[in-house]
């Protein structure tokens, strides 16, 4: 299937590793020009070089913390004509409710929600002019199954669904689609490191910790393993494609069936 991404310019926030990297790689492979973003120049340069070498695609780099307003404004100024925005960057941290101070609630909102809201606001005028665009929020199964061990994270992922649906409503009747994608537990760099730390400190293998996680913490998973960043990227690449023109305002799951719902 030709995803018809030639000539499209895509910005993927937080794409030097994990799910974001897989999305940037896949979009470049499918012919889009891609802007890779991370917070350090070294990480961005490395990711750009790897994606360029592996895909022969057009890959730009933008090193900055896109949860900051000035960085977001500069990204859009420096790279005019963004057709596809993937709001991927996000942070997570397990913490008991009583231990989450106001500052953490604010930081999670700023990084996980407001960064994407702001970028969407910045790219929308040009998308409207072109009457074409794709805005994709990388939310989580945690948007609908709020993890008791990180309620602040769950709150941000639910908020993304609200923003995404509302934004889709606001551009009804245009060629712009807005969707959220909900990965389940995925072996990205962040989650991989997290599980490896647990394995090391409890003298277990990664596979043992993974099996226990799906037995006790996420027993509803139908695939009984972590998803891969590539599995998420494949869905995102389709949603970013002109072929997905009738998919908008949707919350699309690539969660291994962990959300126990047929819808």
Which residues have a catalytic role annotated? 153
Question: Using CB under 6 A, which residues numbered 210 to 239 contact ligand NAD?
Answer: none
Say if residues 232 and 22 touch (Cβ distance below 8 Å).
yes
Question: Using CB under 6 A, which residues numbered 10 to 49 contact ligand NAD?
Answer: 13-14, 16-20, 37-39
Round to whole Å and give the CA distance between 17 and 40: 12
Question: Using CB under 6 A, which residues numbered 71 to 100 contact ligand NAD?
Answer: 88-92
Question: Using CB under 6 A, which residues numbered 125 to 164 contact ligand NAD?
Answer: 138, 140
Q: Which of 153, 65, 69 is nearest to 109 (CA)?
A: 153
Cβ nearer to ligand NAD, comparing 17 with 252: 17
Only one of the segments 101-109, 179-187, 215-223, 237-245 lies at the binding site for ligand NAD (rule: CB under 6 A); that segment is 179-187
Residue from 65, 104, 110, 126 that binds ligand NAD (CB under 6 A)? 65
**In the complex, what is the shortest distance from the CB of residue 191 to ligand NAD, in angstroms, rounded to a whole number?**
4
Q: Which of 176, 232, 180 is nearest to 27 (CA)?
A: 232
Round to whole Å and give the CA distance between 129 and 171: 12
Is 148 buried (19+), middle (13-18) or exposed (0-12) by CB count in 10 A?
Answer: exposed
Residue from 183, 221, 233, 252 that binds ligand NAD (CB under 6 A)? 183
Could you say whether residue 188 binds ligand NAD (CB under 6 A)? yes
**In the complex, what is the shortest distance from the CB of residue 24 to ligand NAD, in angstroms, rounded to a whole number?**
10
Round to whole Å and give the CA distance between 195 and 37: 25
**In the complex, what is the shortest distance from the CB of residue 32 to ligand NAD, in angstroms, rounded to a whole number?**
19
Question: Using CB under 6 A, which residues numbered 97 to 126 contact ligand NAD?
Answer: 111
Q: Which of 61, 17, 65, 57 is nearest to 233 (CA)?
A: 17
3-state SS track over 111-159 = HHHHHHHHHHHHHHHHHHHHCCEEEEEECCHHHCCCCCCCHHHHHHHHH
**In the complex, what is the shortest distance from the CB of residue 182 to ligand NAD, in angstroms, rounded to a whole number?**
7
Residue from 190, 242, 249, 257 that binds ligand NAD (CB under 6 A)? 190
Backbone CA torsion sign across 168, 135, 193, 215: positive
**In the complex, what is the shortest distance from the CB of residue 18 to ligand NAD, in angstroms, rounded to a whole number?**
2
| Binding region for ligand NAD (CB under 6 A) | 13-14, 16-20, 37-39, 65-67, 88-92, 111, 138, 140, 183, 185-186, 188-191
């Amino acid at each position: 299937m030709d995803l018809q991404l030639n000539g499209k310019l895509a910005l993927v926030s937080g794409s030097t590793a994990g799910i974001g990297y897989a999305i940037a790689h896949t979009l470049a492979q499918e012919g889009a020009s891609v802007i890779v973003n991370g917070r350090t120049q070294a990480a961005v340069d490395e990711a750009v070089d790897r994606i360029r070498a592996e895909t022969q695609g057009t890959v730009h780099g933008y090193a900055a913390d896109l949860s900051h307003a000035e960085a977001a404004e500069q990204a859009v100024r420096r790279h005019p004509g963004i057709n596809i925005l993937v709001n991927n960057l996000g942070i997570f941290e397990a913490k008991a409710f009583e231990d989450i101070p106001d500052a953490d609630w604010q930081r999670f909102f700023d990084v996980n929600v407001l960064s994407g809201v702001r970028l969407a606001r910045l790219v929308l005028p040009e998308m409207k002019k072109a009457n074409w665009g794709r805005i994709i929020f990388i939310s989580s199964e945690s948007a609908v199954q709020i993890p008791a061990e990180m309620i602040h994270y769950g709150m941000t992922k639910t908020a993304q669904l609200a923003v995404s649906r509302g934004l889709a409503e606001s551009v009804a009747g245009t060629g712009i689609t807005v969707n959220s994608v909900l990965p389940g537990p995925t072996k990205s760099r962040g989650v991989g490191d997290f599980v490896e730390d647990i394995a090391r400190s409890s003298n277990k293998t990664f596979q043992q910790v993974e099996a226990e996680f799906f037995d006790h913490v996420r027993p509803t998973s139908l695939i009984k393993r972590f998803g891969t960043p590539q599995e998420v990227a494949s869905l995102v690449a389709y949603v970013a494609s002109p072929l997905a023109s009738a998919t908008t305002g949707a919350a699309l799951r690539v969660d291994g069936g962990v959300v126990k719902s047929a819808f």
